Amino acid sequence: MSTHKRSKSSLPIPSKVGDILSYLGPYNPHPQQVAAGDAVWLFDNVVYRNPKGKWEAEFVAAVLSQDPSCKVPDVVSQVAQMAGLSKDAQETATIARRITPFLMDIQPGRVVNASLGSGTKLKLGPGGRNGISSDIKQLPSGKAGDLVTTTAQVPAGANGVLEMKTIYAEPDGWAVISDIDDTIKITMTSDPIGILRSTFISTPTPVDGMPELYAHIHKLLGPQSPFFYLSASPYNLYPFLRNFREQYYPFGQLILRDASWMTIPGLLSNLTLGTEDYKVDRMEKIHSWLPKKKIICIGDSTQSDPEAFGDIYRAFPGWVKIILIRKVTDIASVGIETKNAPERFEKAFDGVPRDIWHVFEDPAECYNIIGARTMASDRPASKRQKSSKDVPYELIYWPGIPGRGEHIRLALEEAGAEYTDTAHIEGGMDQVVSYIKGEKPDDDINTPGLAPPWLKHGDLVISQTPNILLYLGPRLGLVPSSDGNDDHRYRVNALALTALDGLSNEPHDCHHPVAIQLYYEDQKTESKRKSEDYVKNRLPKFLGYFERVLKSKASGDGPWLYNGQLTYADLVLYHCLNGVKFMFPKAVSKYEKSGDYSGVFKLYEAVEERPRIKEYLASNRRQKYSLGIYRYYEELDIEP
């Protein structure tokens, strides 16, 4: 780790010789033991396999003096004044407590003796001029996901963070590198006053939705996938940030700048200047430990996370699989519009494939991205077809109507998947007709289909809307992670089939109750009778069913039908309800106002607010209703 120098007069050293020897860092021949008045901080870490296959880890320890040599009230007053605070006793006490780790004198040349697990003895240090030691230690065998405790052996009177956790990580699999400030914790790094308030005064607050997202990622990837929390904050904030992480986020290694705070301007510059080079340097170190891992990088737009992640992607092609950048819009600061400009992201990610990096405002947008990318990456290579990364999906469906093909479009749009659509390409109608006639697919693998939609993916051609969705769901992250079995996808499929039965097939029969080949005008009397029964009896039956599903334990938290997350069944229900609203506006309006199906309509609104869905619905890719499944006839618009 790099060193940080203070003037000799500020270093509490026992002798001039000891002071000189501390410049030698780990090569100091006469290190000093931890004393009763010292504070020791042990930093949590990750164990990896070295090139010889042996387990090892970097152990970092810091030693400081418990009692600051400067006058704490003077510094507290300075911070309070800069933050624009009055002399509030509670706020003053909070500042004093938070600022003390910055004022504790560093203790160079100290050795920390520690015990790992059931008795492995470790000697950490001696530390350098910044009071920090960094040692690579070989460790006993373990298995991925094991969490082992190391305890500092210190004399009575010494205190600090005397226990650390060490997690074992195999070379393969996934890992997460996450920024902290304004990515998972509100810090307001674009605002100097905001930094002071969030660091020394305010209750540490997680970014809304991020704890739930990280819990989901941890569950999806498993305990064997390590998290690295990378911040430009100085190491003085370690106890503060460690407590914050333990309260809100999965266990992981905190990586902080090994430079102590000297002045308030020094703290502010520490958090805002040189962050790109610093973060790239630390990510290069993580790569040296875990070069075969598949990395998810998560950051925000306030600092240089996009540039740093772009740099590391280009430095180690194939290592980073997903980049997620939180577009920070809840901070009023100079330059935030420039930081959030699309041109900035395009430049930062020059040379990075577009399906790798994503900019989001709502953490809910990330669930499907992560689900789709992790499942696609973990899936064994198939001899018959390429992965979704290599081959765009091809939708073969009628131009001019949403129809049954719309369910597939919504799934592809929500996942941000690359696809072509015969509704929007020259000669698209001819392709549809060639499939109907059986001229395509022309091979010895795929059977002819009866009617559109068809989905072509590599060498695979399949038909039937629910069958296509059953195929796409896991690949697009639109079913929960299966954890080795297929139970989730069958439950989701049952919900989709029910919606298609009662809110798609039956509405179609309302305008064609006698025969498909007859015109509507030839069966108007029967159509009106069928529609009256549908809006009075069948429609509330299906709305009531989905309301029960949403109130069930299996629905989970949030507005979704199953397991607390968006699935393709939610998208199917949305489009079905959208079509029924077009076809029977009076009936749907009455049922919505009744309040009996509030969960169903809340789901409907939640789907419409999904960023990709919202953009799609406003685009010309969205087909207008005409003479498809959902048709409006004034005489059938019956109020129940």
**Are the C-beta atoms of residues 132 and 60 closer than 8 Å to each other?**
yes
**Mean predicted lDDT score pLDDT of the chain:** 87
**For position 294, which CATH number holds?**
3.40.50
Residue 72 lies in a domain: no
Residue 85 lies in a domain: no
Secondary element (H or E) of residue 288: helix 275-289
Assess whether pLDDT exceeds 90 at residue 270: no
Residue 332 lies in a domain: yes
pLDDT tens-digit map of 196-215: 777 777 789 999 999 999 99
- Based on the domain organization, do 173 and 221 belong to the same domain? yes
- Based on the domain organization, do 333 and 227 belong to the same domain? yes
- Based on the domain organization, do 157 and 177 belong to the same domain? no
**322, 355, 378 - which closes a domain:** 378
- Based on the domain organization, do 429 and 297 belong to the same domain? no
Domain containing 25 equals: 1-67+104-164
- Based on the domain organization, do 402 and 291 belong to the same domain? no
Residue 203 lies in a domain: yes
Token pair 């100091």: residue: 28
Please provide residue 346's backbone torsions phi and psi, each rounded to the nearest 5 degrees: -60, -40
**For position 523, which CATH number holds?**
1.20.1050.10
Weakest mean pLDDT among 111-115, 189-193, 427-431, 560-564:
189-193
Distance, CA of 94 to CA of 92 (rounded, Å): 5
Weakest mean pLDDT among 91-105, 260-274, 486-500, 526-540:
260-274
Assess whether pLDDT exceeds 60 at residue 348: yes
Residue 75 lies in a domain: no
Burial class from Cβ neighbours inside 10 Å (0-12, 13-18, 19+) for residue 202 reads middle
DSSP for 604-625, written as a single string: HHHHHTSHHHHHHHTSTTSPPP
pLDDT tens-digit map of 501-514: 999 999 999 999 99
Encoding tokens for residue 242?
Answer: 């460690």
| Rounded to 5°, angle at Cα 582 from 425 and 518 | 75
Please provide residue 245's backbone torsions phi and psi, each rounded to the nearest 5 degrees: -60, -45
- Based on the domain organization, do 374 and 412 belong to the same domain? no
pLDDT score at 326? 95
pLDDT tens-digit map of 38-95: 999 999 999 999 999 999 999 999 999 998 877 766 666 666 666 566 566 677 787 7
Residue 77 lies in a domain: no
**326, 345, 378 - which closes a domain:** 378
**164, 197, 232 - which closes a domain:** 164
**Are the C-beta atoms of residues 268 and 188 closer than 8 Å to each other?**
no
- Based on the domain organization, do 46 and 109 belong to the same domain? yes
Residue 74 lies in a domain: no
Please say whether the dihedral angle defined by the alpha carbons of residues 466, 468, 470 and 472, taken in this order, is positive or negative.
negative
Average pLDDT over every residue of 220-247: 92
**Are the C-beta atoms of residues 114 and 132 closer than 8 Å to each other?**
no
Q: pLDDT category, 272, cuts 50, 70, 90? A: low
Encoding tokens for residue 314?
Answer: 């280009």
pLDDT score at 331? 66
- Based on the domain organization, do 183 and 250 belong to the same domain? yes
- Based on the domain organization, do 222 and 109 belong to the same domain? no
Q: How many domains are there within the chain?
A: 4
Q: What is the pTM of this model?
A: 0.60
Distance, CA of 45 to CA of 394 (rounded, Å): 46
- Based on the domain organization, do 125 and 236 belong to the same domain? no
- Based on the domain organization, do 181 and 148 belong to the same domain? no
Residue 622 lies in a domain: yes
**For position 409, which CATH number holds?**
3.40.30.10
- Based on the domain organization, do 318 and 351 belong to the same domain? yes
Going across the sheet that includes 174-179, the strands are 253-257, 227-234, 174-179, 294-300, 320-326, 357-360
